[in-house]
């Protein structure tokens, strides 16, 4: 098939929704430190690294911690989070995700995951769709957070395709900006008013098929 060579997917909010587990773990940490953590604050952590998330949370709590203390806190939060995601099931795959991945592979279009999560492989394995990805680029393989395009560019490189022949799927503003910075077309998953920089915005992957992607790719 000419045109689209690969599709690169963010994980959280696109394939699965682990935000609830992040929220529970960060909330538990904040509560143990003696302050509250809200769902509105949790929304501001979308698409950024664990270290950056902790810095924001400590700031909201009016706390300062040494680098060693921050490392210990981030590790503790992650241990709680990992314990929760180890109990995930295929029922937690978001609508349309598995079907789209299967149709892309049937059409000979390569697939990659491009996520800041350091637990991406575990999550994909637990929900049963790890074999549907040719490449998994996660937080263990990149040094720069979105909106830096590193994670997506590494995905294209690992797949052996040009960035311009890729379409990215993202639910966060920083992720949309990262894809655009990498020279890729991007489908936003969420609200148009939030993800207006994307080339196309849909509510979920049920609204996407290869015909729509081909039209998007060929549009100037």
Write down the pLDDT at residue 83. Answer: 95
Q: In terms of domains, do 12 and 34 share one?
A: no
Residue 205 maps to a domain: yes
Q: In terms of domains, do 45 and 137 share one?
A: no
Q: How confident is the model at residue 48 (pLDDT cuts 50, 70, 90)?
A: confident
Residue 59 maps to a domain: yes
Q: In terms of domains, do 110 and 128 share one?
A: yes
User: Can you give the CATH number for the domain in which 72 is found?
Assistant: 1.10.150.240
End-of-domain residue from the set 85, 108, 139: 85
Q: In terms of domains, do 108 and 138 share one?
A: yes
Q: Where are the beta strands (DSSP E) in 49-208?
A: 110-114, 135-137, 166-170, 185-189, 200-202
End-of-domain residue from the set 47, 63, 85: 85
End-of-domain residue from the set 85, 102, 134: 85
Residue 32 maps to a domain: yes
The pLDDT of 80-87, averaged and rounded, is 94
Q: In terms of domains, do 105 and 198 share one?
A: yes
Which positions are annotated as active-site residues?
10, 12
Residue 74 maps to a domain: yes
Q: In terms of domains, do 79 and 179 share one?
A: no
180 contacts: CB under 8 Å, gap ≥ 6: 186, 197
pLDDT in tens, 176-191: 999 999 999 999 999 9
Q: In terms of domains, do 40 and 131 share one?
A: no
129 contacts: CB under 8 Å, gap ≥ 6: 15, 90, 93, 97, 98, 101
Write down the pLDDT at residue 98. Answer: 98
Distance separating alpha carbons of residues 55 and 45, to the nearest angstrom: 10
Q: How many domains does the chain have?
A: 2
The domain of 40 spans 19-85
Residue 199 maps to a domain: yes
Sheet with 185-189, strands from edge to edge, namely 135-137, 110-114, 6-9, 166-170, 185-189, 200-202
Asked whether the predicted pLDDT for residue 80 surpasses 60, the reply is yes
Q: In terms of domains, do 70 and 25 share one?
A: yes
Q: How confident is the model at residue 1 (pLDDT cuts 50, 70, 90)?
A: very low
């Amino acid at each position: 098939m000419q045109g689209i060579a690969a599709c690169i997917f963010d994980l959280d909010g696109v394939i699965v929704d682990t935000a609830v587990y992040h929220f529970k773990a960060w909330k538990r940490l904040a509560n143990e430190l003696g302050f509250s953590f809200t769902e509105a604050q949790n929304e501001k952590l979308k698409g950024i690294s664990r270290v950056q998330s902790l810095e924001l949370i400590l700031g909201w709590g009016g706390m300062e911690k040494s680098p060693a203390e921050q490392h210990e806190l981030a590790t503790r939060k992650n241990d709680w989070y990992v314990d929760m995601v180890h109990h995930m099931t295929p029922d937690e795959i978001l609508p349309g995700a598995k079907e789209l991945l299967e149709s892309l592979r049937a059409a000979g279009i390569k697939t990659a995951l491009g996520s800041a999560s350091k637990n991406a492989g575990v999550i994909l394995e637990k929900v049963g769709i790890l074999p549907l990805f040719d490449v998994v680029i996660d937080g263990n393989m990149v040094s720069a957070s979105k909106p830096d395009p590193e994670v997506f560019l590494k995905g294209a490189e690992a797949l052996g395709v040009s960035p311009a022949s890729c379409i990215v799927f993202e639910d966060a503003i920083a992720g949309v900006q990262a894809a655009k910075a990498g020279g890729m077309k991007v489908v936003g998953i969420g609200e148009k008013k939030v993800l207006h920089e994307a080339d196309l915005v849909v509510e979920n992957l049920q609204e996407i098929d290869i015909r729509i992607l081909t039209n998007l790719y060929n549009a100037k």
